[in-house]
Structure 1
Amino acid sequence: MTTRTARKTQDSKSEILRAALELIRRSGAPSLTIDAVAEEAGFSKGGVLYNFPTKDALITGMVEFLAGQFEAEVAAAREGHLASQCPTLSAMIDVTEGWLRQNRDVARAMLATKADRPDLSEPFMHVKARLKAAIEAETDETAKALAIWASLEGLHFSEAHCVAIFSEEERAAVFQDLRKRLA
């Protein structure tokens, strides 16, 4: 496969994955069908199936895409926090706050599919292992850093499990407090 063909295939996959995520964000997990994704992406059903031969392959691709997107956003945000005590964790606070606003519905939908597919956690577990190693390398206060991270995880999981009880203002205050604790 030539570099140009590989790039075009990767671009097509990314377009399909973005369309699938938008479909879930807008209409929920039950709306995720190959036909609906093809229509949303502007591809033929065969074009979607060429890139993702099954719905399971599409869901796996979506999780891998999201995990990569999260890691890339943390890496980009980290550049703005190089003066921080722990640049990676500072970036994770910012990125998690944004994801809770933007990807809440996607997290809930992915949770619904995870019951049948426990392997879907693997891409995020690999990302988290790399982030944990970076945090441990950046700070001598590992317990403090992990407590802050655990708070981020709790906020994220309460949203994904539809049991969040904080208002937008309360959640913003929590993020502000986490930033102060890290400073």
Structure 2
Amino acid sequence: MDAQPTRRTPEDTRRQIIDMAIEIAADQGAMGVTLDAVVARLPFSKGALLHHFPNKLALLEGVIDHLASEMTAAVLAEAARDPNPYGRNARAYLRTIVYEPATERDFSIGRAVLAACAIQPSLTPRWRAAMGALAVDDPDDPAGKDDALMLRLIADGLWMSDLFGTHEVSPEQRKALLSLLTPGSLLTDAYGESAE
């Protein structure tokens, strides 16, 4: 008896479309992401693509939502390993952004996302909302909120520098820079050790 071919679910199709759009963005930048370019690389009709994404904006929204979801999952997984609740999400954000080794493909995708948001500003609030949801650290402690914001801004600054190659920061320099945040800051975990 022959095995029946696996039927693709609508979610599988949607995910394939998003993955291909991300691949094109990494290769060609945000301007290269068109409905025709995506469908040309996939084994189904333009009608299937249009069923999920009726236009380029909808496709870019799907890409932004997917990448934000992946980032959120990575930060929350990192936070789950941290025993100290004070500043946990900020430290997890810093670890995820700064310490995860990024590839040139990651940077290409990052540049494409930035370009997409510049071309289509309505995409920016989607990313902002996802990252804002991760900024929930000790809401009753104003000083803790300031420390958490500081860590996020440092992480974002290092990420932007890495993304555009603005400053070459060696692993040693990165560690030294981050150690400038004194013990007792949010970089210190529950055991009083550097949260690297």
Q: Which has the larger radius of gyration?
A: 2
Contact 1:158 1:164 in 2 (8 A): yes
Shift of 1:31: 2.6
Are residue 112 (structure 1) and residue 119 (structure 2) matched?
no
The alpha-carbon distance between structure 1 residues 56 and 99, as it changes in their structure 2 partners (threshold 3 A), is farther
Give the counterpart letter for 1:51 in structure 2. Answer: H
Deviation at 1:42, TM superposition (A): 3.2
Asked if 2 retains the 8 angstrom alpha-carbon contact of 1:90 and 1:179, the reply is no
1:40 aligns with 2:41: yes
Partner of 1:67: 68
CA RMSD of aligned residues (A): 2.9
Q: Is the 8 A contact 2:86 2:138 kept in 1?
A: no
Contact 1:93 1:175 in 2 (8 A): no
- What SS does the corresponding residue of 1:82 show, helix, strand or coil? coil
The verdict on how the C-alpha distance between 1:143 and 1:23 changes in structure 2, with shifts beyond 3 A counting, is same
Percent identity of equivalent pairs: 25
- 1:19 and 1:63 mapped to 2: Cα distance? 13
Which whole-Å CA distance do the structure 2 matches of 1:174 and 1:164 have between them?
A: 18
Alpha-carbon spacing, 1:174–1:42, altered in 2? closer, same or farther (3 Å): farther
Cα shift at 1:141: 2.6
- Partner AA of 1:56 in structure 2: L
| TM-score, normalising length: structure 1 | 0.78
TM-score (norm 2): 0.74
Describe how 1:1-183 pairs up with structure 2 within 5 A.
8-83=9-84, 85-97=86-98, 98=100, 100-101=102-103, 103-132=106-135, 134-137=136-139, 141-160=144-163, 162=164, 164-169=166-171, 172-173=174-175, 177=179, 181=185, 182-183=187-188
Q: Which has the higher helix share?
A: 1
Single out whichever of 48-57 and 81-90 deviates more from structure 2.
81-90
**Any conservation in 1 of the 2:91–2:151 contact (CA below 8 Å)?**
no
Deviations 1:98-124 (A, max 9, x none): 385452111211222223321111112
Give the partner amino acid of 2:74.
E
57-66 or 83-92, larger mean C-alpha shift: 83-92
Mapped contact 1:23–1:40 kept (Cα < 8 A): no
Letter in 1 for 2:118: A
Separation of aligned partners in 1, 2:177 and 2:96: 11
Q: In 2, distance between residues paired with 1:53 and 1:87?
A: 40
More off after superposition, 106-115 vs 173-182? 173-182
Structure 1 unaligned runs (5+)?
1-6
